[in-house]
Amino acid sequence: MRCKQIFLSVLGLSCAVVELSASQKPNVLIFYVDDMGIGDTRVYNPAAPVEMPNLERLAEQGMTFHDAHSQAALCAPSRYSMLSGNYPWRGRSAGGSWHFNGGSQFTEGQKSIADVLKGQGYRSAMFGKVHLGALVPPKDGTTFDKASPVTSKKKSFDWTKADFSKPLIDGVYSLGFDYTYVSYGGIQDPPYAFFENDLIVGDLSDLVHYDGGKSQNDNGTSVIQRWMPGYGMADWKTNEFLPIITEKAIDFLDKHHAQNKKDGAEKPFYIHFCTDAVHVPHTPPNEFMGVKVAGTTGGTRHMDMLFAMDVALGKLTESIAQHGQLDNTLIIFASDNGGLPQKVSKNDYDSNEGLRGYKAQIYEGGHRVPFVIKWTNGKVKANSTSDQLVGVHDLFATLADLTGAQVGEDQGLDSMSFLPVLLNDNSTTLREDMLFQGAGPKERAIRVGEWKLCLDKESKPNQLFNLKQDPKEEDDLINNPEHEKRVQQMHELFVEQFAAPRSTPAF
């Protein structure tokens, strides 16, 4: 049996070798949240008002990263980076594939984490929000505009020409997953419907047009934003999104273990779970699998959605524990970008704990994210922290490293394994540099050590910050002659890495 050797320090004094056989490979749960900043949780901000016991327990039992980043400050490009191990501009569109019928962000030949883990014997599934694009098969060979499926004059989408009896083309089900139950635009974009293995869920005769607005149901309030009208299923409820995908994920776990028992196998699972929380509209359910949610925090709907997110995390970990697999499950908690501005969250606290900027901005508040990992059997030290620079897209290389996957030089082009750090070896700095994208391709930055250089829309040096001395990016040093050479060198490195076939060593 092929094994992977993992070196880890024991009590910081000596090294041991752990033989990781195929049957011992950990299950993987990636719990990927939306628009959550480090200030939203007591894991990073002790004064955060919302108690999230399941996330806080995860941090107590695992490792918390204090210099972790999404590769973009918006969800669509960062979601591609996480699954592919590539910077956003290596996909079909540098700004990400936002629209349901705009084509997949994954270009031909690019593999996902699911592809990598499938090759290592994993059974995998994805649940929740996608924002990675796809194509809708047309009826009778007709064609239509590859635009957002909304009904505004500029972005019309003729649903009468779409053949929803066929699966989507190049959807997430084609990215190596064995099962998918997803919404391509989350709760904020049409189509307001779930897709199971890329087939729309429900009777096609139940497709209706939503102009936007609120509607009441037995479990709270559902909201379609008025600036995002479009088609969807008549039974769509934004407040039911999180309970539904949680129940589907638990059902997958039950069936996975039943199949293992039937086969006499120890096949590991990989679940890619993408919440709607805490993206707008904030519509907490009244009740979530026996837990009261709406109004529980005594604060805003944003705060209630944070609590709902934690309930989902708890329900999933509880199900994993019931199957006796909790200790051998690598649980990864991350956000797709930084937190929301207060004018959107309506909170009286800062979701980014004083960092400059927020979602959609190139500053730290836009891309510094909560990142927590637990793996008991893997010897991830409980209640540990790391100040190493890591990107959420580094999960691609890390999971390949952990499972012994052989990945081609043309995959995970910007990903670097942080497995040594995860296994409590912080003796070596793994990453010296990293690139970032803000609201789109015209806003980028490079990080080198403690220094960060922001670029303008023409990719020319614009702002320089020393994050060690100035974590809130208040003192712009770009015009300081003392740093002229540094700016030049950092800019040259950005240009070099941006154009390079890959920015990290092949693995």
pLDDT band at residue 22 under the 50/70/90 scheme? low
Structure tokens at 475: 């003192």
pLDDT value, residue 236: 98
In the chain, how many H helices and how many E strands?
Answer: 10, 24
pLDDT value, residue 139: 82
Residue 468 CB neighbour total at 10 angstroms:
9
Task: Give the C-alpha separation, 398 to 416, whole Å.
Answer: 7
Residue count of the chain: 507
The three-class DSSP label of residue 320 is helix
The yes-or-no verdict on residue 5 having pLDDT over 50 is no
- AA identity, residue 63: M
| Lookup result for tokens 């497995």 | 419
Mean pLDDT for 452-481 is 98
Q: Which residues pair with 437 in a beta bridge?
A: 72, 444
| Lookup result for tokens 């590991």 | 268
**Domain residue ranges of the chain, discontinuous segments joined by +:** 27-422, 444-499
The yes-or-no verdict on residue 15 having pLDDT over 60 is no
pLDDT value, residue 11: 30
In the sheet that holds 461-466, the strands lie side by side as: 433-437, 444-448, 451-455, 461-466
3-state SS of 268-291? CEEEEEECCCCCCCCCCCCEECCE
Question: Residue 50: what are its φ and ψ, rounded to 5°?
Answer: -95, 120
Closest by CA to 271, choosing from 132, 171, 125, is 125
Task: Give the C-alpha separation, 20 to 26, whole Å.
Answer: 9
HSE-up of residue 438 (Cα within 13 Å, Cβ side): 21
pLDDT value, residue 101: 83
- Find the angle CA(438)-CA(44)-CA(63) to the nearest 5 degrees: 95
* Average model confidence (pLDDT) across the chain: 92
Residue 328 CB neighbour total at 10 angstroms:
17
Task: Give the C-alpha separation, 321 to 222, whole Å.
Answer: 32
The yes-or-no verdict on residue 12 having pLDDT over 50 is no
CATH code of domain 27-422: 3.40.720.10
Task: Give the C-alpha separation, 370 to 388, whole Å.
Answer: 14
pLDDT band at residue 427 under the 50/70/90 scheme? confident
Q: Which residues pair with 217 in a beta bridge?
A: 220
pLDDT tens, position by position, 52-79: 999 999 999 999 999 999 999 999 999 9
Question: Residue 90: what are its φ and ψ, rounded to 5°?
Answer: -85, -5
Taking the alpha carbons at both ends of the chain, their separation in whole angstroms is 21
pLDDT band at residue 142 under the 50/70/90 scheme? low
Percentage of the chain exceeding pLDDT 70: 92
Asked which of 160-169, 221-230, 462-471, 477-486 is least confident by mean pLDDT, the reply is 160-169
- AA identity, residue 98: W
- Per DSSP bridges, beta strands 291-292 and 287-288 are antiparallel
The yes-or-no verdict on residue 6 having pLDDT over 70 is no
pLDDT value, residue 28: 99
The three-class DSSP label of residue 214 is strand
pLDDT value, residue 476: 99
| Lookup result for tokens 């952990």 | 402
HSE-up of residue 313 (Cα within 13 Å, Cβ side): 27
For residue 150, say if its preceding peptide bond is cis, omega within 30 degrees of 0.
no
> pTM value?
0.94
3-state SS of 303-319? HHHHHHHHHHHHHHHHH
pLDDT value, residue 379: 85
3-state SS of 94-161? CCCCCCCCCCCCCCCCCCCHHHHHHCCCCEEEEEEECCCCCECCEHHHCCCCCCCCCCCCCCCCCHHH
Contact 366, 472 (CB under 8 A): no
Task: Give the C-alpha separation, 393 to 434, whole Å.
Answer: 11
Task: Give the C-alpha separation, 172 to 83, whole Å.
Answer: 11
**Per residue in 120-151, is it b (16+ CB within 10 Å) or e — as a string?**
bebbbbbbbbbbbbbebebeeeeebeeebbbb
Mean pLDDT for 208-233 is 94
The yes-or-no verdict on residue 141 having pLDDT over 80 is no
CATH code of domain 444-499: 3.30.1120.10
Mean pLDDT for 308-333 is 98
Task: Give the C-alpha separation, 398 to 507, whole Å.
Answer: 10
Contact 271, 28 (CB under 8 A): yes
Task: Give the C-alpha separation, 427 to 420, whole Å.
Answer: 9
pLDDT tens, position by position, 99-110: 888 899 999 999
Task: Give the C-alpha separation, 30 to 316, whole Å.
Answer: 11
Residue 180 CB neighbour total at 10 angstroms:
25
Task: Give the C-alpha separation, 88 to 91, whole Å.
Answer: 6
HSE-up of residue 297 (Cα within 13 Å, Cβ side): 24
Q: Is 141 left (phi over 0), alpha (psi -120 to 50) or beta?
A: left
Closest by CA to 271, choosing from 255, 294, 288, 293, is 255
For residue 53, say if its preceding peptide bond is cis, omega within 30 degrees of 0.
no
Contact 358, 46 (CB under 8 A): no
